Amino acid sequence: DVKVTQSSRYLVKRTGEKVFLECVQDMDHENMFWYRQDPGLGLRLIYFSYDVKMKEKGDIPEGYSVSREKKERFSLILESASTNQTSMYLCASSQQQGAAEKLFFGSGTQLSVL
């Protein structure tokens, strides 16, 4: 079974801190995604990547950046955390580059910015 692992289940950070959220998948998937989940707003796409060192902006990229130095790892970076970035962050992966197919989600990181 595909395993998508997010490094932290809960994180508490201060306003202005630089925050790294890490995601690793173990099935050699081409595509990786970062979503944030907020009540009443569903899952919103922040950034995605279809290849190593490649990144594309999603629907809400402002205030975030990403890094994909290796195929299995996709990092989300909050350069200067703000309170409105308090949210559940979900990483996902899928197999074929750019294809419309099943996403495998990680268990999420609940980030609180104080």
Q: Single out the residue of 43, 71, 77, 86 in contact with another protein (rule: CB under 8 A).
A: 43
Report the candidate in 95, 82, 81 with the shortest Cα–Cα distance to residue 32.
95
Restricting to residues 88-107, which ones interact with another protein according to CB under 8 A?
A: 90, 98-103, 105-107
The whole-angstrom separation of Cα 38 and Cα 110 is: 11
Residue 44 interacting with another protein (CB under 8 A)? yes
Whose Cβ is closer to another protein: residue 16's or residue 98's? 98
Cα 35 to Cα 42, 79: the distances in Å are 9, 17
Q: Considering beta carbons, is residue 33 or 81 the nearer one to another protein?
A: 33
CA atoms within 13 A on the CB side of 102: 2
Residues of the shown chain interacting with another protein in the complex, contacts defined by CB under 8 A: 33, 35, 40-45, 48, 56-59, 90, 98-103, 105-108
